[in-house]
Every structure is written in structure tokens, then in C-alpha cells.
Structure 1
Amino acid sequence: GGLVLLWLSWSSVHRLGPEQQGVVTTFGKYSHTVGPGIAMTAPFPIQRLEKLDTQQIRTTPIGSSKSSNDNLVLTKDQNIIDMAYDVRWSIKSPERFLFQLDQPEQTVQEVSESAMRATVANFNLTQAIGDGRAEIEGQVLERMQAILDEYRSGVLVQSVSIRQSDPPAEVTDAFRAVNAAQQKRESNLNDARAYASQVTQLALGETAEFDKIYEQYKTAPEVTKRRLYYETMEQILGKVDKTIVESGAVTPYLPLPEMQRRNSGESNSVTVTGKKQ
């Protein structure tokens, strides 16, 4: 009698933790699902209860950072990248998780690989290894969940995190050289645009100045020509030594240009003579 009672209590009374759910089967066929707490079933082998942790977040790693375990994926522009990522998932329907799929963990891995390849095929190389990774993760999660729901797998995908998205190890050096060339190209283009903008602004300024002078010239041509002549002569002769004397029998008795050269260290000099006005 004691053995019978022990057998009945062991196979009929079940305690489930707050994170667990129990799937009850009758002669191997699904009967119902019970929640946390104390659950009663018929003794084994009539009924059996299998506990599942539905709150646990399971992680399925895909790919590896080791060169010997490449996970190569083709991009939109027909480049190949080596990807490694983690898929985090949990159980949302215990009965489907147990009975719908033969190997649910293997199914999650295969679905994730298929979804990743289908998603990366819509992105080019620069996006797949750069700022497009977050968008790729979101699309892969949506694709995975849609496929798993179609399979009635009872799996809920929590997140997809890309750990590595690089070119294959065999072409890493060449890829870095291409990136360096692209960055240099962008730098040269930016320098050219800045120089073009500077030249354009200078030309616009000179054009505006010319338009102002032309308006003054139309109003007073002679005065404007004389002023331009004086300004031009001032620019030409402003940085050289010069001595202006009147024509006639006047002879310079002091070597003024030579003295100025010695004092300033400059070597240019101009002597201008003209008629007395």
C-alpha cells in the first residue's frame, strides 16, 4: 500500500514553478496544458506531464568569428560577406513546440539562416557591413517569425543580433584597400567642390565690382578712366623705389634710389621724368 501511494503521489501530483508550463498527454496523445502551481493528473502510464520553461530566453548562435567556420552570404551587388549572429527566442506555445516539429532547435537555426540570406540579398555590401545592419536585423526577425508561425512551431523570436559582418578573410586586405581608395576619392571630391565654390564666389565678387565701375563709367567716363589709371599706377609703382623729377636742366645731385635700396633691402627702382605742367 505504501508503494502504491508513493507511486500515485509521484506520478499524479506535480508542482510547476512560475516560469513553467506543463503539457499533459494521455497514452501519448496531447490532452491539455497546465500553468504554474500544483497540477493533478492520472498516474503514469495513463497520463504524463512534461514541464517546459516558457520564460527562458534561448540563444542560437549562427556562424563564428573563426576563419575555419565561415558563414558566407551573398549581397545585392554580388559581393560575399562572412556573417555571424545570434538568434534569441522563447517558447510561446508548449504543446506546439513539443509535437509540431521533430527538432525545433534545428528548425530555428535553419529558418534563421534562410531568412538572413533572403534579407541580405536586398542590401549592397556597404549597407550590409555598415549602417544597414539594424534594418537587416529587423527584417530577419520578421521573416523568421512569419515562417515559424506558418510551421505552427510555437516559437517566439525575441531578437536577432549581428556579431560580425565582414568580407571573407581571403580578401580582407583588398577590401581595406578599396575602402581607403573610396575615402580618398570622397576627400578629393570634397576638396574640388570647396575650391570650385571659392573660385565661383571670387568671380561673382569681381563681376559685381566690375558692374559698379561700369555704372560709374557710364555716368562720368573721363573721371572714371583717370581714377582707374591712378589706381593702376599706384598698384604697379607702390612697391618699388621711384624718383619723380621735372624735365629740363635739373640733375639729381643725391643718389636717392640707391640710398633707399640700402635702407630697405629692396632692389627695384624706377625713375620717372616728365614735363612740367
Structure 2
Amino acid sequence: MRIFDGLGQRIRLAMAGNNPWGSGGDGSSGSGNDDDGAKGSGGGDKGKGPRNPWLPPGSGGGDGRRGPNIEDIFKNRGPEGPRRKGGGPGGPGFQFPQRPGGKSWFPVLVVGIIGLGLLATSVHLIGPQQKAVVKTLGNYTRTMDSGLQFSAPFPIETVDVEDVEGVRPIRIPGNNNQAKLILTGDQNLVDLSYIVRWNIKDLADYKFRVVDPEETVNDAAEAAMRASVAEKNLDETFSGQGRAAIELDVRERMQATLDSYRAGIRVLGVEIEKADPPSQVVDAFRDVQVAEQNADAARNQARGYAQQVVSQAEGEAEAFDKVYEQYRLAPEVTRQRLYYETMERVLSKTDKTIVETDGVTTYLPLPEVRRRSQQAQPTTTVTAPGGQ
């Protein structure tokens, strides 16, 4: 300490002999030779000369110009530089409020924040369509149902919530413009696009049995669709009844495959959106369809004509049966009536009558007389003026 005091005295003497701030406000030079540094030069009055920059703020000394001690210089200095108090010049910075006993509230606040975090990770409100799996230190332990549930705080137990009732659709193929060609039972290709709707049946199996559930559903759907279409011909694939049978068969095949994997997935339904021929042969296929439609129309027309002829023949046969019943009751009268009706129907369409029975006077052939009179009339010739 004596070494530091001697060094401090030498610094004060050097500063007293050569003041870097010039003279004071009253023209007196700032010189001082006190050992304790209590008084400055110029009579020791306050306000004379600049304040000593080596002296920390608020230090002792009546005039604020006492020479700094070497201990004062290094007292507030650390390895990283001078230590400063508070929030800048003019006073100390923010101070945390204290408890009535004089202790700080900071530890209480830290403990409260940690407690709230533990409480937030221990209480879980699970929705009506949701379930949750609980993992203790990374291992599956149980499944939580819907409602208010509790668990150990994080990271001891972690809770993963999933919607198990919501319908999840998968469109195959994912791109509507992409073709999905499938071979039918009669060695034809058909372009199919369909939607598979599914949800979660067992949350624990869904989470821990398969790596990618959606990819698993996609692969199972494609395999089931190809197997079902391979058992149908092309016409059955295009017809509505055939589509319904394929959709039901695909759903059953998919469910059996996913259950064998223990994937925890329930297949709700399969819907075929499009069943068309390949784009390369769509024009030829349309021509074939038009020809088939024309053939169906011709067959329908022939069936209609046949039904008409048969109906007419049946009507005539029924009428003949009725006439025959009357003939059996009165044969002569019926025979005479049939003769008259037949002659009336035949002779009404001709202008000639041949009568071979004796004693019958023929009727006056008025149509024939009229025709002959028209043919015998002279033709009138009109002569143009000038003799031509």
C-alpha cells in the first residue's frame, strides 16, 4: 500500500505542476500540495478551476478537485473494463422491488414462472373428436380420451393430440391431369381416378405402428384397386353398377390389408371419380361407342316393329274368334253377312262390275259414261293475231 500511496503522491505533484485544463474561473492557477488531497489550488474555494477528471463522481473533497488515489483508479476496474453503476449518468438504473423483509422479489418471480410452465404442460383440454397419446420419457404409456386430462409436467411426460373422428381424403392420382392406367380382366386399359376417405381407428397403432400412415393408405388403395379392376371387364368398369361393385370390393380389400399391418386406420369409403379410356385411343373408342349406340337403336327399332306386328295379328285373331262364335250360333246369316261385307269392301275400290247371273239388270255405269264424254269433247284451238 505504501508503494501505491507514493505513486499517487507523484501523480498529484505532476498534475499540480502542469494542469492540463488551464487556470480557474478567477485566473488563479490550480496548484495544490496537500498530502491528503482535501484542498485544491487557489485558496480551496469551490468552483475554482475544472473538476479533477480522475476523481470518481461523488467522492470526498470540498471542492471536488482532490487528486485521485491510485486505489480509486483501479477500485472499480475489472478484466473487461471499468465497472459502471446503474442506467447512465445522473443516477442509478432500474432496481427490482424488494419484499418487506428487504429481500428481492426476483427469485419469487422465477419460481412462479417455472410453476406456471409446469402447470401448463400438466393440464390438457382434449376436444370431443380428439384423443391423445402420452409418452413417459419417450416411451408410450397410455391414451387419453376427450375432456380435461392431467399428466406429469414436461419433459417427464409429453402429450400428442390428434383428431380421430375427422374424415381425411386422399386423391389418387394426386394430380388430376396425371393418368392412372389399370389393366382390366379383358386385357384393356382404363384410366381411373378415385378418392379414398379414412380416419383413425386406434390412435396408438396409428402413431407407433407405421412410419407414414398416408403413404400406407395410398399404397394399399392402389393395390386393392388394381386387384378389383383385374376381375372386371371394360364394360363393367364404365357402367354405374360395375363401379359400385368395384368401390365396395376396394374398401374391403384395403381394410383387410391395413388391419393386417395394425395401422390403426378405418377406411370409410372409396369413390371413383373418372373411368375413361386412355387418351391415345379415346377417338377410336368413341367411334366404337357411336357404332354400338347405332346398333342398339336399330335393334330397338326392330323390336318395336315386331311388337307392333304381333299386336296387330293378335287383335285380328281375337276379332276372328268373336266372328267365329257368332258363326257357330247362326251359320247362314253369318255367312251371308260376311259375303256382303267382303263384296262391299272390294267393289268400292273398282269402277267395273261383272255380273254373270241371269235375270239381273246391270246398273248404269255413270263413271264410264262421264269418262267417255270427256274424251269425245273437241279440242278448242286459239289462233294468235297475224294468222299464226
Shorter-chain TM range is: 0.7 to 0.9
Distance in 1 between residues matched to 2:188 and 2:233, nearest whole Å: 8
Distance in 1 between residues matched to 2:282 and 2:322, nearest whole Å: 60
**What does 1:57-68 correspond to in 2, within 5 Å?**
57-63=167-173, 66-67=176-177
2:210 alignment partner AA: L
Give the conservation status (yes or no) of the 8 Å contact 1:18–1:36: yes
Distance in 2 between residues matched to 1:253 and 1:227, nearest whole Å: 25
Alignment correspondent of 2:235? 126
Q: Which of the numbers 74, 77, 80 marks the counterpart of 2:189?
A: 80
Consecutive unaligned residues in structure 1, runs of 5 or more: 264-277
Alignment correspondent of 1:95? 204
Q: CA deviation at 1:210?
A: 8.4
Q: CA deviation at 1:151?
A: 0.9
Residue 90 of structure 1: SS of its match in structure 2?
strand
Q: Give the CA RMSD over aligned residues.
A: 3.7
Distance in 2 between residues matched to 1:52 and 1:81, nearest whole Å: 38
The alignment's TM-score, normalised by the length of structure 1, stands at: 0.76
* 1:92-151 Cα deviation digits (max 9, x unpaired): 211110000000010011111111111122222222122222222222111111111111
Residue 160 of structure 1: SS of its match in structure 2?
strand
Distance in 2 between residues matched to 1:234 and 1:24, nearest whole Å: 105
**Distance verdict in 2 for CA 1:7–1:234, change over 3 Å:** closer
Higher mean C-alpha deviation, range 200-209 or range 9-18? 200-209
Alignment correspondent of 1:51? 161
Alignment correspondent of 2:277? 167
1:194 alignment partner AA: G
Distance in 1 between residues matched to 2:274 and 2:185, nearest whole Å: 18
Distance in 1 between residues matched to 2:146 and 2:364, nearest whole Å: 121
**Distance verdict in 2 for CA 1:261–1:65, change over 3 Å:** farther
Distance in 2 between residues matched to 1:11 and 1:262, nearest whole Å: 125
Judging by fraction of residues, say which structure has more helix: 1
Q: How many aligned positions are there?
A: 260
Residue 52 of structure 1: SS of its match in structure 2?
strand
Give the structure, 1 or 2, with the largest relative contact order (CA under 8 Å, sep 6 or more): 1
Distance in 2 between residues matched to 1:38 and 1:168, nearest whole Å: 55
Give the conservation status (yes or no) of the 8 Å contact 1:54–1:90: yes
2:200 alignment partner AA: I
**What does 1:110-189 correspond to in 2, within 5 Å?**
110-132=219-241, 133-189=243-299
Alignment correspondent of 1:273? none
**What does 1:120-269 correspond to in 2, within 5 Å?**
120-132=229-241, 133-200=243-310, 236-242=346-352, 257-259=368-370
Give the conservation status (yes or no) of the 8 Å contact 1:85–1:162: yes
1:104 matches 2:201? no
* 1:52-103 Cα deviation digits (max 9, x unpaired): 1112211111126744x11112222222111111111111211110000000
1:11 matches 2:118? no
Judging by fraction of residues, say which structure has more strand: 1
Distance in 1 between residues matched to 2:315 and 2:160, nearest whole Å: 85
* 1:18-49 Cα deviation digits (max 9, x unpaired): 22211011222110001122322223332211
**Distance verdict in 2 for CA 1:90–1:258, change over 3 Å:** same
Alignment correspondent of 1:71? 180
**What does 1:7-46 correspond to in 2, within 5 Å?**
7-46=117-156
Give the conservation status (yes or no) of the 8 Å contact 1:21–1:94: yes
* 1:132-188 Cα deviation digits (max 9, x unpaired): 222222221111111111111111111212211111222222222212211211221
Distance in 1 between residues matched to 2:373 and 2:168, nearest whole Å: 91
Distance in 2 between residues matched to 1:233 and 1:211, nearest whole Å: 21
* 1:187-237 Cα deviation digits (max 9, x unpaired): 2122223333444455667778889999999xxx99999998877665554
Residue 257 of structure 1: SS of its match in structure 2?
helix
Identity over aligned pairs, percent: 46
**Distance verdict in 2 for CA 1:262–1:174, change over 3 Å:** farther
Residue 156 of structure 1: SS of its match in structure 2?
strand
Give the conservation status (yes or no) of the 8 Å contact 1:65–1:84: no
The alignment's TM-score, normalised by the length of structure 2, stands at: 0.56
